[in-house]
Structure 1
Amino acid sequence: MIAETICSAVSAAGLGIAAITAYRKRFLAATRIAAYSLVPLGLVLTGAVEWAVDTAFSFTAWIGFGLLGGAWLLLLATRAVERRSGTTRKERKAAKAAQREAVAPAASAPSLGAGARPTARPAAKPKGSATTDDFSDIEAILKKHGI
């Protein structure tokens, strides 16, 4: 009963402030204030305030909230223990290894269609020229950018 009275008083005060704001020719702000001040009155008329007050002062509701919090803490604790245990790490490693083995080794190589002709491979270069080719590519890039 007292919560409904407080909400009604807050709504009346808000509508008064909205009227003063509208008198000062600030209609957009007055409309916004009026909208906010009607919310508590709407909550009273829908019965939400009565339900909230009954829940807030109900001993069984607080026991229910305590049980929900305890269940949440138990779930968090089991997840923390599961992350730290060695058995799940082994299971994860085994699952990753099985996943790698399941993929066909030739699956990553591009397949050639029936009408495609294989291109000629370039001649193998000596091992010493591989490092010079790498540096020549870098030099070409630097020259291109004027460095």
Structure 2
Amino acid sequence: MIAETMCAAVSAAGLGIAAITAYRKRFLAATRIAAYALVPVGLVMVGAVKWLANTAFSPTAWAGFAVLGVAWLLFMTTRAVERRGGGSRKERKAAARAAREGGGPVEPAASGPALGAGARPVARPEGKPREERPGDDFSDIEAILKKHGI
């Protein structure tokens, strides 16, 4: 009974504010305020306020909320463990089966040498030894800096 009375008072106050807003020629805002003000009365008429009041003071309802919270916690825990463990149970079984059979997932854009097929070390010509000059590493950088005047 008290909740219904409070909802009616809130609605009456809201409609009063809407009337003052309409008086100031802000009709769109007044209509929006009136719509919000009518929501509590509508909830009382539907019976949602009575249901909510009965639920708020019911130990059975609070126990139900606790059970739902535990279920949600268990669900999220299993999801976190699944993500750390490398996927779902089916995905882990498929990966183990592929490892036993010798095949495995291959990156689609992998090149031949990356897969090991035909990978040979690049041979240098015998007559030309590799020349190492300490200044060669930065010559292209120096050219860029000179180009920009740095």
Please, what TM-score do these two structures have when normalized by structure 2?
0.59
The answer to whether 1:7 aligns with 2:7 is yes
**What SS does structure 2 have at the residue aligned with 1:11?**
helix
**Greater length-normalized contact order (CA 8 Å, ≥ 6 residues apart):** 1
Q: Over residues 85-112 of structure 1, what are the superposed CA-to-partner deviations in whole Å (9 max), with x where a residue is unaligned?
A: 9xx59xx9xx6xx5x95427x93249xx
The residue number in structure 2 matching 1:126 is 130
Could you list the runs of 5+ residues in structure 1 that have no partner in the other structure?
111-122
The structure with the greater share of residues assigned to helix is: 1
CA shift at 1:10, angstroms? 0.9
The residue number in structure 2 matching 1:71 is 71
CA shift at 1:141, angstroms? 1.8
Aligned identity (percent) is: 70
Moved more, 55-64 or 19-28: 19-28
CA shift at 1:31, angstroms? 2.3
Q: Over residues 102-126 of structure 1, what are the superposed CA-to-partner deviations in whole Å (9 max), with x where a residue is unaligned?
A: 427x93249xxxxxxxxxxxx8882
The residue number in structure 2 matching 1:145 is 148
1:1-147 equivalences under 5 Å are 1-74=1-74, 102-103=105-106, 107-109=110-112, 126-129=130-133, 132-147=135-150
Number of aligned residue pairs = 122
Superposed CA RMSD: 3.7
Structure-2 separation of matches of 1:125 and 1:102: 41
Could you list the runs of 5+ residues in structure 2 that have no partner in the other structure?
87-91, 114-124
